[in-house]
Amino acid sequence: MEWALRERAVRVRARVSGRLGRAEPVVVDVLLAVFSAAVSLWSVYDDDTAWPWWVYLLATAPSVPLPWRRRFPGAVLLASSLPAAVLSVVAHSVMPQVQVFAVVTIYTLADRGRNWQRLLTLVVLVVGNIVGTHSPSGALFSLVVSVGSFVFGSLVRELRRLARVEAERAEQVGLRAASDAARAVAEERARIAREMHDILAHAVSLMVIQAEAGPLVVRSDPDRAIRAFDAIADSGRDAMVQLRRVLGVLKEAGAGPELAPQPRLSELAAVVERVRASGVRVESRIEESGPAEVQAAAYRIVQEALTNTVKHAAATRVSVRVVRSGADLAVEVTDDGCGAASAQEAVSGRSGGRGLVSIRERAAACGGSAQAGPGPDGRGFTVAARLPLRA
């Protein structure tokens, strides 16, 4: 209950503050009109001639439109100038030395008027003060007051324009920053998704195959069953180690992708051994070369290619080559499995995976490329990638 009352009080204060903020310019303009009228009335009263009542009315008339000057600057200037011009003709001696209404309306038009209104007003001010004033000193004083008001209003107009430009620029910077942040979040999510996919898909695939084979040979070949269960345990432990790498980085405040411990090509030997333990013959030639990000990408590409071989290809033999070729690191995984049919299943998503897409993404992230298709003579399947060793 107390919270609701406090919230209601805040809303009431905000509403009152908003109304006061909207009312403040009107109050200022009304006070300006009163002050201008007072100056004009005092000028008539202080004159030596006893003027009739209508002269006092003419003297106050130019100040009456001032409360509307912000909304209709051109019309207010014209409405103030007409009675002032009549008063100047019939009773010039009662005109104040500084006409407050003229200063205010000229300033307002220079600040808020349209361009053609501003240009026309400036021409009329210059010509009118020079032609309509008999003495040079009087003309100079009138020009300083009137044109000075116009110049001051123009300066305020320019400051308003610059403030709008800065506000728009700040808004654009904020939008770009928000867009960059959203893009960084999306890229980081994609990176984490690739890492989790590669780690879990490889480990779970090997564990499922070994678990299916173990019960079949547990009586006829106990040693093979033991090796199968050992391979399951090794795959599980390796997956846990790699998951801790990823999750450990996520728990660190401010940690980025560059801080994540990345797998090296030297660790591929363990992956190859686990695939061998699943019953697939693996021939491998692995040369450790290149910076950490290239080695990590090559590791993941080989890991994903072997995972697809184990899951989809029904292969008996697979060849793994990771060698330096000129300025690139060449990666090639070739199997003798069922070839394009298994690849199409992996790409189309019927298997629930996105391994080949992940391979291409990893290669592209390093500035390289990857291809996948049937092996030599249309037999088996080949995944090949080239990763630049230098940026």
Q: Where are the alpha helices (DSSP H) in the chain?
A: 2-45, 53-60, 73-90, 100-112, 115-132, 136-217, 222-251, 268-277, 292-308, 340-348, 355-365
What three-state secondary structure class fits 64? coil
- The boundaries of the domain holding residue 313 are 262-391
User: Is residue 70 domain-resident?
Assistant: yes
Q: Are strands 317-325 and 281-286 parallel, antiparallel or unpaired?
A: parallel
Q: Are residues 276 and 168 in the same domain?
A: no
Together in a domain, 278 and 154: no
> Do 172 and 267 have their domain in common?
no
Number of domains in the chain: 2
pLDDT in tens, 228-244: 677 677 767 776 766 76
**335-372 b/e (C-beta count within 10 Å ≥ 16 → b):** bbbbbeebbebbbeeeeebbbbebbbbbbebbebebeb
Q: Give, in order, the Cα–Cα distances in Å from 64 to each of 34, 89, 95, 288.
A: 8, 20, 16, 89
Residues 61 and 160 in one domain: yes
**Are both 170 and 266 inside the same structural domain?**
no
Residues 6+ apart with CB under 8 A from 320: 268, 272, 282, 283, 284, 285, 286, 302, 306, 332, 333
Going by C-alpha positions, the residue among 309, 316, 325 that lies closest to residue 359 is 309
In the numeric block, which tokens belong to residue 33? 């009109």
| pLDDT score of 68 more than 90 | yes
54-63 pLDDT per residue, tens: 989 988 999 9
Q: Are residues 31 and 171 in the same domain?
A: yes
Q: Is residue 159 part of a domain?
A: yes
Helices 355-365 and 292-308: angle between axes, nearest 10 degrees: 170
pLDDT at 209 over 70: no
Tokens of 384: 């090949």
Minimum mean pLDDT range among 206-220, 269-283, 312-326: 206-220
Residues 58 and 166 in one domain: yes
Task: Provide the pLDDT for residue 206.
Answer: 67
Is residue 208 situated within a structural domain? no
Rounded CA-CA distance 271/302 in Å is 9
Q: Please tell me the predicted confidence (pLDDT) of residue 189.
A: 74
Distance from C-alpha of 214 to C-alpha of 225, rounded to nearest angstrom: 5
Residue where a domain stops, chosen among 127, 157, 176: 176
Give the other-Cβ count within 10 Å of 68's Cβ: 15
Residue of 207, 251, 212 whose CA lies nearest to 230:
207
| Domain final position from 122, 148, 176 | 176
Confidence of residue 266 (pLDDT cuts 50, 70, 90): confident
Checking if the pLDDT of 354 tops 90, the result is no
For residue 271, what pLDDT band results from cuts at 50, 70 and 90? confident
Residue 196 lies in a domain: no
- Residues 168 and 271 placed together within one structural domain of the fold: no
Provide the token pair at 344.
């199409």
**At a CB cut-off of 8 Å and minimum separation 6, what does 87 contact?**
55, 58, 59, 62, 94, 95
Residue closest to 363 by CA, chosen among 336, 319, 339, 333: 333
With respect to residue 226, please indicate whether it lies within any of the assigned structural domains: no
- Give the per-residue pLDDT at 267: 84
Q: How far apart are CA 60 and CA 66, in angstroms?
A: 11
Q: Indicate whether 10 pLDDT > 80.
A: no
Domain closes at, from 150, 176, 202:
176
At residue 332, the pLDDT reads 92
Within a domain: 330: yes
Residues 132 and 14 in one domain: yes
| In a shared domain, residues 43 and 148 | yes
3 state DSSP class of 60 = helix
Is 316 part of any domain?
yes
Q: Is 339 helix (H, G, I), strand (E, B) or coil?
A: coil
Tell whether 242 is covered by a domain: no
At residue 307, the pLDDT reads 79
CATH code at 297?
A: 3.30.565.10
User: Tokens 């006409």 appear where?
Assistant: 99
Q: Which of 39-48, 162-171, 307-316 has the lowest mean pLDDT?
A: 307-316
